[in-house]
Structure 1
Amino acid sequence: MSYEFERKHRVVVVGGGPGGYEAALTGAQLGAEVTLVERAGVGGSAVITDVVPSKSLISTAEAAIAVRDSDQLGVQFYARTDADKPVRPEVAVNLAAVNRRLLALAHEQSEDMRTTLENAGVRIITGEGRLDGQNAVIVSTARGEEGTDFDRIEADTVVVSVGASPRKLDSAMPDGERILTWTQLYSLQAIPEHLIVVGSGVTGAEFASAYRALGSKVTLISSRDQVLPGEDADAAGVVESVFRRNGMTVLNKSRADTVVRNGESVVVTLADGKTVEGSHCLMAVGSIPNTAGIGLRSAGVQLTESGHIRVNRVARTSIPSIYATGDCTNFMPLASVASMQGRTAIFHALGDAVTPIELRNVAANIFTQPQIATVGFSQKQIEEGVRRGEIYKLPLKVNPRAKMMGITDGFVKLFSSRGSGTVLGGVIVAPNASELVFPLALAVEHRLTVDQVARAFTVYPSLTGSISDAARAMHTVEE
């Protein structure tokens, strides 16, 4: 009598960022034999040098703002001199201590993720991975002075999650001391006296906002008419107004040609010949996918001109056995999207039930002060006729809870389908907008109408009451 045993499905994940982590964990939970290859640490750059440390820094900046602006709520801090006279102390930020804390948090998060994978049965290899055809990965691991070991791992499914790196310009090459990428900021030991930020996209705007709150003089150089050019125009206008009111210099329609170090300072030369001098410069001019030299083209995987991996809505590439997730793909570059891609890829590869990702249902947030949260169709798309819809905007300052909290900037904006009243999308500009957008994300995902949203109870007083108020104002009358 002979027995045949079914072999486990073999999954090799190259890169342990949010997408790779979720792919590995999901694969193990579904009974696959999973190997994760990661060169820096579980969590990838999102955890180690990007999302976790940057948002931790922003949380510190928010704390500094809360202390600094507390007198608006009647809370005042005073110290006593030797003559028993009250003196208001300055808010000081120990950046070296802040950076030690946030890097420790990043390391702790990475180790927690590693432990979760190991407990699930995932084999983790520290090394570099590259594809060897369509069903194998070559892993190189360092042996110190003895050289490098190479191992070939066969796979039924390969998931590529190698992320992206800061874009570097020859005319503004980072030196890690005065001219910096966002991954190099955490080595700073003191608050920059004058930080020049080149690039007004999400990364540039977030760090400009944070360092201004921490006490730096900040100049933000934007090549476009307005900061955050890809975002809702009203939302970007509010953020830019707050930037300027808080003392930030914003140079719109200005392009940086060169950035050079001059001793203990940096000089940025603009396209019109003008110069800006500061103590440090952050280059936030986009990112490039880490897809070069890892065997993708030889395996037949299609790439875009920019080097991003082309994937469909289940994260599958042009090769059936190869999937890809995260910033290395041509999908939306968000950690939450990468995680969803990782889960979806494994569900699809292993034949489980799968729902293709719908990008317009993705909620996104920009962690400036105030924050900008968005979901669904944009106002621009509605105005251009992509969808026929109604638009309603409610200033946050009329909300009773906002008044209690001293919030004067921001709004809730809803978009609904003309006729049916189905919620198409929305924008929230507010402190902690990332927490407020979830009801709108649910409404978009489940195609609720504005009347259904309005019928849900909100706490009084609460900032979420503005969502209900806006929905109520868009009430549709059945004909």
Structure 2
Amino acid sequence: MVYEFERKQRIGVLGGGPGGYEAAIAGAQLGAEVTLIERAGVGGSAVLTDVVPSKTLIATAEATTSIDESTDLGVQFFARGETGRPSRPEIAINLAAINKRLTGLARQQSEDMRANLRRAGVRIITGEGRLEGSNRLVAATGKGGSDFDEVEVDTVVVAVGASPRILPTAVPDGERILTWKDLYELEEVPSHLIVVGSGVTGAEFASAYRALGAEVTLISSRDQVLPGEDGDAAGVIEDVFTRNGMTVLSRSRAQSVERVGDGVVVTLGDGRTVEGSHCLVAVGAVPNTAGIGLAEAGVQLTDSGHIRVNRVARTSVPSIYAAGDCSTSLPLASVASMQGRTAVFHAMGDAVTPVELRNVASNIFTQPEIATVGWSQKQIEEGIAQGEIYKLPLSSNPRAKMQGVKDGFVKLFARTGSGTVIGGVIVAPRASELVLPIALAVEHRLTVDQLARAFSVYPSMSGAITDAARAMHIVQ
């Protein structure tokens, strides 16, 4: 009698960022034979050059702000001068040390992730990967890509991420004209940083470098910074920016960026020029999908090069999935991770909950932060969603008063009639930590009364959430 044993499912993962990493871990946990191909390092750009280092830099900037504003709380820093009289010391920023620390943290995080993959039994290939049809991956390895490694697979998860968009009239030189990947090579805080682009990346770095002591000019082509965000939230951030000494040029489009001597000159569409020491060009990202065999394998792409996926991260080719910034989903590390897991669960027949982008909480790490989830006020006002809106300024929150917090609010959106929480916005320090109760309410369709019945600590910033929910009480 001949027995046939079922062969392990073979999963190939192209790219080791959050989506690829989670896909590989999930596949190994479910007993698959997993191979991951990554060219730069496990964690991808999210860990090595984007999320981890940028948020570490922002944390340092927040510490600087806390020291600088502590006088408002009655804490004063003085040193004795030669005459014995007290003098207030300056806050010193050692950017070289800061960048050394954050790049070290990024490398350590990458190594930790690599070790986790190895423990799980994942085969890791370092090289440039591409598809050869729908069931084969090829990795160019060795010095100069002189060697090749071929992997036969049953399922492919493409998680190749995205790179900074480069403008032909503002080509980075890595010294004065920079993308966000170049910032960690700086030895000193720029004397005058010009930031082109007022989206999430531009606003975050503008906020951080202003806190670190740089003169900052933020060039925004729209009426307001953060044009895709809640209008009230963007208004608070712009007010804080200008109050802190940042120059915000609204309705101004950068025509070109040129290096002139030891500085840069940005020419605007109306002919005006702005001179500075450095320029950060933050005008979006492009997916790393060119030249890796996707179209040849039959995978549908958008005009921008993003991979079309459905709610389980599947592409137009049944055996190929895609996760993260290279796909048509939201460009968030948390979404990429969820897509990676969902793709593998679906491919291997495990239970799957399709990704609901409406329930994704996101955060902008300015000072203060902006956290959002669910439907937006604009969608409610346009009639796309039916809801009631309630906004509670943090100025009425006792914990905010104790901490000297003057800017921010909690805003809740609840379905008209039922009171079901359908969204919310928080503008506050650590808004990223505060938004979870609202995200849970949106995910599990809780009403404002159910949210209000939760016991928040008194005094606490989170108490503003239950206070807002209580104000929206639905009379039975």
Per the TM superposition, whether the score is higher than 0.5 is yes
Distance in structure 1 (CA, Å) of the matches to 2:253 and 2:416: 41
Q: Which amino acid aligns with 1:69?
A: E
SS, match of residue 170 in structure 1: coil
Task: Give the letter aligned to residue 178 of structure 2.
Answer: L
Separation in 1, partners of 2:146, 2:446 = 56
TM-score (norm 1): 0.99
**Hey, what does 2:141 align to over in structure 1?**
141
Unaligned runs of 5+ in 1: none
AA partner of residue 368 (structure 2): P
Q: Distance in 2 between matches of 1:365 and 1:181?
A: 21
Asked if 1:221 is matched to 2:191, the reply is: no
Aligned-residue offset at 1:58:
0.1
Counterpart amino acid of 1:188? L
Which portions of structure 1, spanning 4 or more consecutive aligned residues, are displaced by more than 4 angstroms? Answer: none
1:33 paired with 2:33, answer yes
How many angstroms apart in 2 are the aligned matches of 1:387 and 1:74? 46
Q: Which residue of 2 aligns with 1:103?
A: 103
Give 1:62-73 correspondences, 5 Å limit: 62-73=62-73
Match of 1:293 among 291, 294, 310: 291
Tell me how far apart the structure 1 counterparts of residues 273 and 112 of structure 2 sit (CA, whole Å).
Answer: 46
Distance 2:410 2:149 in 1: 54
Q: What per-residue deviation string (whole Å, max 9, x for no partner) do you get for residues 410-467 of structure 1?
A: 0000000000000000000000000000000000000000000000000000000000
**Residues in 1 aligned to 2:340 and 2:179: alpha-carbon distance in whole angstroms:** 27
Q: For 1:363-402, what aligned pairs fall within 5 Å after superposition?
A: 363-402=361-400
Code of the aligned partner of 1:293: G
1:470 alignment partner AA: A
State whether structure 2 residue 22 is matched by structure 1 residue 19: no
1:94 corresponds to: 94
* d(CA) in 2 for partners of 1:227, 1:410: 16
- CA deviations on 1:7-57 (whole Å, 9 max, x unpaired) are 000000000000000000000000000000000000000000000000000
2:243 pairs with one of 201, 220, 245: 245
Alignment of 1:146-295 (within 5 A): 148-295=146-293
- DSSP-derived class of the 1:424 partner: strand
Partner of 1:57: 57
Deviation at 1:386, TM superposition (A): 1.1
Once the two structures are superposed, residues 151-201 of structure 1 have per-residue CA deviations (whole angstroms, 9 ceiling, x without a partner) of 221110000000000000110100000000000000000000000000000
Q: For 1:379 and 1:286, locate their aligned partners in 2 and report how far apart those are by CA, in whole Å.
A: 24
1:336 corresponds to which residue?
A: 334
What letter corresponds to residue 420 of structure 2 in structure 1? T
Task: Provide the aligned length of Structure 1 versus Structure 2.
Answer: 476
Q: Matched residues in 2 for 1:142 and 1:123: separation?
A: 16
RMSD of the alignment, in Å?
0.6
Deviation at 1:3, TM superposition (A): 2.1
Q: Which amino acid aligns with 2:330?
A: M
Say which SS state the counterpart of residue 332 (structure 1) adopts. Answer: coil
The offset of 1:477, in angstroms, is: 1.0
Match of 1:458 in 2: 456
SS in 2 for 1:36: strand
Q: What CA distance in whole angstroms lies between the structure 2 residues aligned with 1:260 and 1:73?
A: 44
Cα deviation digits, residues 390-424 of structure 1 (max 9, x gap): 00000001000000000010000000000000000
SS at the partner of 1:326? coil
Alpha-carbon offset, residue 274 of structure 1? 0.4
1:227 aligned partner, one-letter code: V
